[in-house]
């Protein structure tokens, strides 16, 4: 079954610990943490100290998504803060093999993310060495954007490239009960959902609707 990773970018920042507890009880599988530096994307979000402070509120895995120009200077801090996976962008201004090796050095899962219009084929050289691909179905930087249908074709294409490799496909951006089924059918393993979960009146029902997706 598909996994659901609520993005805390859409959570109530004044009650972040409680929000983490609520999605844990509601059936979330992971916690998605969007880190922005104001350079790679025109927004600022969380530092490692925030991840450290919310770590005690759940046992769920933390996937820290570094939307930053220079991930290498932050990786150690987020590992020490409690990250279980570190996802960096293929478009970052650093050597990708170096970043993969650095994350592996700390024993964490390695993710690579691409923007909506980056070629899926650009990921091919790195697939044997990573654990997940985060497919952005919106332009990174802001929550609440509309899903870009081009992502479905790219998910299916990526699924073919992955073949029998043990690489998860995660999709981030505009995920709701309408877009989730199509993503799952295309080959997605993890759905990152921010607004759909955190802006709902019932987190458990929202997560259940996403997980049920194709079955309906």
Predicted TM-score (pTM) of this structure? 0.94
- 15 or 142, which is more confident? 15
pLDDT at 1: 85
pLDDT digits (tens, 9 = 90+) for 54-105: 999 999 999 999 999 999 999 999 999 999 999 999 999 999 999 999 999 9
Q: Six-digit token pair at 180? A: 């989730």
How many distinct structural domains can be found in the chain?
1
- What count of residues does the chain have? 216
Contact 10, 206 (CB under 8 A): no
pLDDT digits (tens, 9 = 90+) for 94-120: 999 999 999 999 999 999 999 988 999
Task: Write out the residue range of the structural domain in which residue 90 sits.
Answer: 3-215
Q: Exactly one of 29, 34, 63, 131 is catalytic; which is it?
A: 34
Which is catalytic among the residues 29, 63, 131, 172?
172
Specify the CATH number for the domain of residue 154: 3.20.20.70
The verdict on whether 172 is a catalytic residue reads yes
Band of residue 212 on the pLDDT scale cut at 50, 70, 90 = confident
Helices 203-212 and 16-25: angle between axes, nearest 10 degrees: 50
Q: Is the dihedral of CA 127, 130, 132, 138 positive or negative?
A: negative
């Amino acid at each position: 079954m598909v996994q659901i990773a609520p993005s805390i970018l859409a959570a109530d920042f004044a009650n972040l610990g409680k929000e983490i507890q609520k999605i844990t009880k509601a059936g979330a599988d992971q916690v998605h943490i969007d880190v922005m530096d104001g350079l790679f994307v025109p927004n600022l979000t969380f530092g490692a100290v925030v991840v450290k402070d919310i770590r005690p509120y759940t046992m769920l895995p933390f996937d820290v998504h570094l939307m930053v120009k220079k991930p290498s200077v932050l990786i150690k801090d987020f590992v020490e803060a409690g990250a279980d996976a570190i996802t960096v962008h293929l478009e970052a201004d650093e050597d990708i093999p170096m970043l993969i090796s650095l994350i592996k050095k700390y024993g964490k899962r390695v993710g690579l993310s691409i923007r909506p219009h980056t070629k899926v084929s650009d990921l091919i050289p790195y697939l044997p060495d990573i654990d997940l691909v985060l497919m952005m179905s919106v332009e990174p930087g802001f929550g609440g954007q509309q899903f870009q249908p081009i992502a479905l074709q790219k998910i299916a294409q990526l699924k073919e490239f992955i073949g029998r490799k043990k690489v998860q496909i995660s999709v981030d951006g505009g995920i709701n009960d309408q877009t989730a089924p199509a993503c799952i059918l295309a080959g997605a393993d993890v759905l990152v959902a921010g607004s759909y979960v955190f802006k709902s009146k019932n987190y458990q029902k929202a997560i259940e609707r996403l997980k049920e997706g194709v079955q309906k």
